[in-house]
């Protein structure tokens, strides 16, 4: 089917949309265990960008797994499809000129590689929120680690499903030693030159 779909060349380009917004679009990808601090830091970075007049959008579990991807489970195949769809949505948003922030466990290295392929390596910044599992489990903000330990969740990342850490992330943050404000400063420092 796909071979019969022929792309139409529209008049307004990605570059023109980006110039109108006076910003360079990109994807800031937050990966890490549940409870590591991805959403908290992504939220704070989005606020910092917003205050500087940057047009953003934050993709995370609430607006994706409850909507677009509400037919997907946490099996390896469904996680791969989850991340693929998110990457395609992020790519459209990049095309629209936005700075996109995405906060997903995204435990598989190959899935994250695929995100880079889809959006383009130059548009991608990987933030590894590398908080030790002991700390994530102590926080247990949603009570999910307790459920997973009790055997009530069968493939919970870090407990009974793998997390493949990035080899060379662009930014790495351990929230046991870096505060939210410090994390924002580090991230803003790295992306300031790119936007």
Ligand X SMILES: Nc1ncnc2c1ncn2[C@@H]1O[C@H](COP(=O)(O)OP(=O)(O)O)[C@@H](O)[C@H]1O
Ligand Y SMILES: Nc1ncnc2c1ncn2[C@@H]1O[C@H](COP(=O)(O)OS(=O)(=O)O)[C@@H](OP(=O)(O)O)[C@H]1O
| Nearer residue to ligand X within complex by CB, 13 or 179 | 179
Question: Is 106 an annotated catalytic residue?
Answer: yes
Taking the least distance from each CB to ligand X, the nearer of 25 and 171 is 171
Of 76, 123, 70, nearest to 100 by C-alpha is: 123
Among 40, 57, 68, 74, binds ligand Y (CB under 6 A): 74
Of residues 81 and 195, the one with the C-beta less far from ligand Y: 81
Instruction: Answer positive or negative: Cα dihedral of 191, 86, 54, 186.
Output: negative
Binding string, 34-63, against ligand Y, x = CB under 6 A? xx---x---------------------x--
Nearest approach, Cβ of 134 to ligand X (angstroms)? 13
HEC-encoded secondary structure of 83-134: HHHHHHHHHHHHHCCCEEEEECCCCCHHHHHHHHHHHCHHHEEEEEECCCHH
Residues that bind ligand Y (CB under 6 A): 34-35, 39, 61, 65, 74, 79, 82-83, 104-107, 142, 144, 153, 155-157, 161
């Amino acid at each position: 089917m796909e071979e019969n779909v022929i792309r139409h060349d529209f008049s307004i380009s990605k570059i023109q949309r980006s110039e109108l917004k006076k910003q360079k679009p990109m994807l800031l990808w937050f990966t890490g265990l549940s409870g590591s601090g991805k959403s908290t830091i992504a939220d704070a970075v989005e606020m910092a960008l917003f205050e500087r007049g940057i047009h953003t959008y934050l993709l995370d579990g609430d607006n994706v797994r409850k909507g677009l991807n509400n037919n997907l489970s946490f099996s390896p195949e469904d996680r791969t499809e989850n991340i693929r769809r998110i990457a395609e949505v992020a790519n459209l948003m990049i095309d629209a000129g936005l700075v996109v922030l995405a906060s997903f466990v995204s435990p598989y290295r190959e899935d994250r590689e695929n995100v880079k392929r889809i959006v383009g390596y130059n548009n991608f910044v990987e933030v590894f929120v590398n908080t030790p599992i002991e700390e994530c489990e102590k926080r247990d903000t949603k009570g999910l680690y307790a459920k997973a330990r009790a055997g009530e969740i069968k493939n919970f990342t870090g407990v009974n499903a793998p997390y493949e850490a990035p080899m060379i992330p662009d930014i790495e943050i351990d929230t046991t030693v870096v505060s939210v404000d410090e994390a924002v400063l580090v991230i803003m420092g790295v992306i300031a030159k790119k936007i």
